Structure 1
Amino acid sequence: MKKTVLGFVSAIALSVGMMANTAGAQTMAPPDPVIAPPQDIAYPGVLKVSVDATDIDRKIFSVKETVPVSKAGDLVLMLPKWLPGKHSDRSEISKIAGLMVSANGKPLTWVRDQIEVTAFHIDVPEGVTAVDVEFQYLAPTTAAAGRQVVTPDMLNLQFNFASLYPAGYYAKRIPIQATVTFPDGWGYATGLETDSKTGNTVAFKETDYDTLVDSPIFAGRYFKTWDLDPGGPVPVRLNVVADSPEQLEALPAFIDVHKKLVQQAYKLYGSHHYNHYDFLVAASDQLGGIGLEHHRSSENRVEKKYLTEAKVSYSRDLLAHEYTHSWNGKFRRGADLWTPNFQVPMRNSLLWVYEGQTQYWGQVLAARSGLNTKELALQNLALTAASYDNLPGRKWRALQDTTNDPVISARAPQNWTAYQRSEDYYNEGLLIWLDADTLIREKTKGKKSLDVFAHDFFGIQNGEWGEATYTFDDVVKTLNGVYPYDWATFLRTRLDGHGEANNGGAPLDGITRGGYKLVYTDTPSDLYKGVESMRKVTNLNYSIGFSVNNKDNTLASVLWGSPAFDAGLTPGDTLVAINGRTYDNDVMKRAITEAKSGKPIELIVKMDETYRVIKVNYTGGLRYPTLQRVEGTPALLDDILAEKK
């Protein structure tokens, strides 16, 4: 499929090293040797990569690769760096070790590029037709070293850390054939297609390198697959690896909900953009957390009782979100996010569509399919609305600028998140698209909705699974085709402004137009309590202005500008005592309630070796967000969340 590439950025960078000449002047040293930029030409030959994934005790992946070459000279092999779905440079280069290169049985010397440290230069001798490469990926053995991708019972193999690819070519123009050896008796699932299986070794069909990196593998000792669309146009499967066999004894009704998710997606988009789709799911509390989209699959870590626990106390929209990405993000993709290979930097200006609208449809589809109840969906929306309506960082930083956050912070921990802001294009993006949906429904008296936009924008070219890029103007044009309006101003005001239209708060018009309003009560919702339990915190952000780690009573967060902040509390403080008693979260809640009548809140806190007495002036009582129905107004939110017939 033809791709639109705007403002193509070369991966070549100039060295900043300086050389002094005899006259004292300085000149820049050019890169030597130069890494060839990617070209839209076919690679001369098929790469072969073989991964031994059997060393689960030491969590080591051993990789062997054969790279055909057509000429002598500088061959540059690279480890993928800018990874789709992560929107930033998230290379695993620091965990690569033991790199050995040879040809015709003789060792060759490699040299790491001084600028692009994920690239290795190899001087190929005359007469050599293929180069052999070996290395190990040393997966983290502790959480401190990174995300856990291997446990005694499962693994998550991603080819961006288990293969190198040659510079100078579009990734889609590099043919490759992969082989993986799994531990004895383990099942596996992937977006790749199996060619043959010999014992525990699986050979996958030849594909291109772009597709290989987009096709991770989940494998495990306890593995099961369900067909989610029997008789459908193409296979859609739910593949689950679990920590124990009993966690695969799924509730039949819950599998039916996943089947319904597929049908609701088809009704929304009117198309599919894959020749098969595989949900890769780890029901585990040992494998590292992940929710990552791919064109024909998705990587999802869920709670270990995901399939077997009927009671739900937190949102279950992860699979719906990542599934939506097959249409939004993988098929339709912002023009400045598309890159020809994995070393060219991505630009994230349209993530409020890529992630923001996916966040919206993920929650809508979760409700429409029954993954979430309507009540749970409304509670989730209340949490989102409250979070962004109490966001002091909005005063200085526009939502559009947060699309740079994957590059700026790479999801590193922040002490003052609400003031610094983070990847807010996800959930504030959701609020913007809810605003647009309810506006269209109101103006057309229910005849049209954002569903029409989803069908017209993401549903094009049914059956195709390349990439169809778009720009801001394309989004506006499609919206105008649904309902004529000044959509450019609508979007830019919300993306570039600082909440001026909402007194500095979040864009909540979609909620009020939808027949509800955000209010606060003194009792947390089931979802609120579920999220607290999952995160192991007590969240008092909307009252006194902090959240507490339940394990050690340290402050997990302090809301900038809140009563707690004004009193001088800081993230990391340990709460030692309250009103003369040993600190306890229940005692804290009683103190907040009693303070409504004027009783002061006095805390003793510890930071490092220093103790302080802190008096907090707060009389507002406990406050937990919820949505309240506004009687006499159209219940557009109910319509949005209802099953699509």
Structure 2
Amino acid sequence: MKKTLLSSLALTCALAAPAAFADVQYQIKITNPAQHLAEVNIDFPAVSGKSLDVQMPIWRTGRYEILNLGKNVRQFVATNGKGKPLSFMKTDKGTWQVKTQPGDTVKISYEVYANALGERTQHIDDTHAYLDASGILMYAAPFRSQAISVKLDMPSNWISRSGMDKGSCDHCFVAKNYDVLIDSPIETGEHEFHSFDVDGHTIELAIWGRGNYDGKKMAIDLKKVVEEGRKMFGAFPFKRYLFIVHATDGVGGATEHINSTVIQKSRWGFAPRKEYLSFIRTAAHEFVHTWNVKAYRPKEMVPYEYQKENYSRLIWMAEGNTSYFEEVLTLRAGLQNRDEFMEEFAKALQAYEHQPGRFQQSAAESSFDTWIDAGGERARNASVNIYSKGMLLGWAMDIEIRHQTKGAKGFEHVHQYLYQHHTVDKGGYSEADVRTALKHVTGNDWSAWWAKYVDSTGEIPFTNLLPQVGLRYLVEGGKEDEQKEEWFTGWRTRDTGDHPVVIEVERDSPAWKAGVVAGDTLVAANGLRLTPKDINDKLWLLQQTPIKLTVFRRDELREITLTPSRQVKGKAKLKAIDAVTEEQKALNASWTGVAWPAAKPAASASAEKSKE
């Protein structure tokens, strides 16, 4: 295989003259799509030293996790411009050091295995290829800022699309440097395609895979997302934008890029409405990232370091604030209604109430530690999530800003300030820069607020904030004066065979205090067998406390005394407070971007009679 690749590379070099517009040239040839294999050839310009480190990133942007992407590389070969083999040594998990002579041009060839669809780094099969440079194309630091070209050798019926500019052929692309290349994935294959225009900017939609989606409706709704995004930030940071959608199975998620995004969803996950809203919210999230993360981001991540972790205490802003804006943007675009919007925030508050880790870890600490996420059964008890905590902080800051400015400004104006003053080409923003932006927008010093709720674990004061926009939070089950209750244990279980197994125990909950731990198999309650199907029913039917639990732990039978507590049974809601004022309604409308709903007219006597 090495000999074949070397011969192929030498032939390619002999026949192809360097393109005038590019200093680093990439060629990708799909050699065996069924086995997810491709051959990559790279032409680097003349080197000045006696070695050249050629590297594959160890993570990809948008996912703060070490992925060791070099593991998919085999058959690495290096030659000079005359086809002479160059010796090399692999020096770490993502670096190949090639021995050179000053003035040598360097040719690199290797085989890459591309079957990581869920990681959104690379995937090749007989219908398409998704190629994120971080998982398929190496770079050399001395040439990272050089112009590049990419040429694909694909099946003849495939069409190639990317946020990058087109090159000299249908499957060719060009970019000003490797950083643009790595942030402009290529989707090539068989797609449903739509295109539309917003303020002179071309927006494209490429859908791979069959499913229960309506591509035309998706394009219409994405146009509304794009239009609302421009209103929120004032200007586009791109000329053309590409939405890549994978309708598939077994994976899900999305990743932002400088002028494109890839969204993965179950092929049957675009309907009914609740599922479709999930897709639209995700699209809005990734589109907001075009500004928040790609146009401007924390200074510790400028420029990206591809061979190590990029630590920052502000990732809660980069990700969590984007989660907040996805909801606001989707509402303002008319793609979800006010009730659906309020439901999402009520759910977020309810989940936050049951996350004891909010008293263990601050948003800033969570951001820094996102590279070493606790995970597993401990996560909710020991940490907070940068997405959910950042969303709630964004919400709290938005309401407080509108309160301080009497509805004239909001949190989006803070992000507009960062976009205007701290773009990537200006070095990004610091924590002090964000506080400066807050003071610029409100006229007030936010240092104490920041210290309490961002740098520390102070409880976000929603009890005081929500009434400012005419709302209150409650868990409601039926009529308020007939609230239903249920027993609460604080465990989460999974179904495994005949008995449920505990996978998580909430800190300080009844189960926690009783000594139940993750991994316990719940066998019986007061001598009655517990099965996955009826575990809750049987506990509640006992109607007595304490309960004697029989569990297996490490294959040993033991008894635990559990005293469940009572909690309101029902759905978390955000509802209007009693006697809401016009000022509160106006502040609510300023926040949401939609008018406070008009009071429903009283039902007529005849209508009431007909109901009877």
Distance in structure 1 (CA, Å) of the matches to 2:392 and 2:438: 16
Distance in structure 1 (CA, Å) of the matches to 2:567 and 2:227: 45
Aligned residue in 1 for 2:430: 471
Task: Give the match's secondary structure for 1:469.
Answer: coil
Aligned residue in 1 for 2:98: 122
Aligned residue in 2 for 1:289: 252
Aligned residue in 2 for 1:391: 355
Task: Give the match's secondary structure for 1:149.
Answer: strand
Compare CA radii of gyration and give the structure with the larger one.
2
- Which residue, out of 294, 298, 309, partners 1:334? 298
**Against the structure 1 CA distance between its residues 511 and 625, is the aligned structure 2 distance closer, same or farther, given a 3 Å change threshold?**
farther
Provide the identity percentage. Answer: 21
What displacement does 1:295 show?
A: 0.9
What displacement does 1:159 show?
A: 0.7
- Which residue, out of 558, 572, 585, partners 1:626? 572
- Which residue, out of 527, 552, 566, partners 1:606? 552
Distance in structure 1 (CA, Å) of the matches to 2:393 and 2:489: 28
Q: State the one-letter code of the partner of 2:492.
A: S
Distance in structure 1 (CA, Å) of the matches to 2:78 and 2:378: 47
1:498 aligns with 2:457: yes
What displacement does 1:616 show?
A: 2.4
**Against the structure 1 CA distance between its residues 358 and 639, is the aligned structure 2 distance closer, same or farther, given a 3 Å change threshold?**
same
- Which residue, out of 265, 273, 291, partners 2:237? 273
- Deviation sequence 1:230-271 (CA, Å, 0-9, x none): 2522112222212x2x54543x54432221111111111111
Structure with bigger RCO (C-alpha 8 Å, 6+ apart)? 1
1:562 aligns with 2:509: yes
1:98 aligns with 2:75: yes
**Against the structure 1 CA distance between its residues 123 and 93, is the aligned structure 2 distance closer, same or farther, given a 3 Å change threshold?**
same
Distance in structure 1 (CA, Å) of the matches to 2:125 and 2:476: 43
1:239 aligns with 2:201: no
Kindly indicate whether the alpha-carbon contact (under 8 Å) linking 1:511 and 1:637 is maintained by their aligned counterparts in 2.
no
Q: State the one-letter code of the partner of 1:225.
A: F
What displacement does 1:384 show?
A: 1.8
Gaps of 5+ in 2: 1-20, 479-484, 596-612
Distance in structure 1 (CA, Å) of the matches to 2:188 and 2:57: 22
Distance in structure 2 (CA, Å) of the matches to 1:96 and 1:325: 30
After the TM superposition, which of the residue ranges 91-100 and 145-154 deviates more from structure 2? 145-154
**Against the structure 1 CA distance between its residues 578 and 330, is the aligned structure 2 distance closer, same or farther, given a 3 Å change threshold?**
same
Distance in structure 2 (CA, Å) of the matches to 1:372 and 1:468: 36
Kindly indicate whether the alpha-carbon contact (under 8 Å) linking 1:290 and 1:300 is maintained by their aligned counterparts in 2.
yes
Task: Give the match's secondary structure for 1:470.
Answer: coil
- Deviation sequence 1:474-502 (CA, Å, 0-9, x none): 22222222211221221221012222xx4
Aligned residue in 1 for 2:475: 520
Aligned residue in 1 for 2:607: none
Aligned residue in 2 for 1:407: 371
- Deviation sequence 1:337-369 (CA, Å, 0-9, x none): 212652365231221221222121112112222
Aligned residue in 2 for 1:157: 131
**Against the structure 1 CA distance between its residues 227 and 83, is the aligned structure 2 distance closer, same or farther, given a 3 Å change threshold?**
same
> Where do 1:25-424 residues align within 5 Å?
46-53=23-30, 55-71=32-48, 73-81=50-58, 83-103=60-80, 104-113=82-91, 116-125=92-101, 129-140=104-115, 149-150=123-124, 153-168=127-142, 171=144, 173-197=145-169, 202-221=171-190, 223-228=191-196, 230=197, 232-242=199-209, 244=210, 247-250=212-215, 252-286=216-250, 288-307=251-270, 309-312=272-275, 315-316=278-279, 317-339=281-303, 341-343=305-307, 345-409=309-373, 413-422=375-384, 424=385
> Where do 1:425-504 residues align within 5 Å?
425-458=386-419, 466=425, 469-499=428-458, 502=459
- Deviation sequence 1:486-541 (CA, Å, 0-9, x none): 21221221012222xx4xx7756444433333323458xxxxxxxxxxxxxxxx99
Task: Give the match's secondary structure for 1:548.
Answer: strand
Distance in structure 1 (CA, Å) of the matches to 2:548 and 2:476: 24
Distance in structure 2 (CA, Å) of the matches to 1:254 and 1:291: 16
TM-score by length of 1: 0.78
After the TM superposition, which of the residue ranges 187-196 and 275-284 deviates more from structure 2? 187-196
Q: State the one-letter code of the partner of 1:588.
A: I
Q: State the one-letter code of the partner of 2:141.
A: A
Distance in structure 2 (CA, Å) of the matches to 1:303 and 1:355: 23
Q: State the one-letter code of the partner of 1:547.
A: R
TM-score by length of 2: 0.82
Q: State the one-letter code of the partner of 2:138.
A: L
Distance in structure 2 (CA, Å) of the matches to 1:303 and 1:321: 18
Task: Give the match's secondary structure for 1:85.
Answer: coil
Kindly indicate whether the alpha-carbon contact (under 8 Å) linking 2:476 and 2:572 is maintained by their aligned counterparts in 1.
yes
**Against the structure 1 CA distance between its residues 449 and 588, is the aligned structure 2 distance closer, same or farther, given a 3 Å change threshold?**
same
Kindly indicate whether the alpha-carbon contact (under 8 Å) linking 1:437 and 1:510 is maintained by their aligned counterparts in 2.
no
Q: State the one-letter code of the partner of 2:551.
A: V
Aligned residue in 1 for 2:15: none
Distance in structure 1 (CA, Å) of the matches to 2:461 and 2:383: 13
- Deviation sequence 1:560-587 (CA, Å, 0-9, x none): 2211222222223333445555534552
Gaps of 5+ in 1: 1-43, 524-539
The count of corresponding residues between Structure 1 and Structure 2 is 562
Distance in structure 2 (CA, Å) of the matches to 1:568 and 1:93: 44
* Aligned-pair Cα RMSD in Å: 3.4
**Against the structure 1 CA distance between its residues 254 and 414, is the aligned structure 2 distance closer, same or farther, given a 3 Å change threshold?**
same
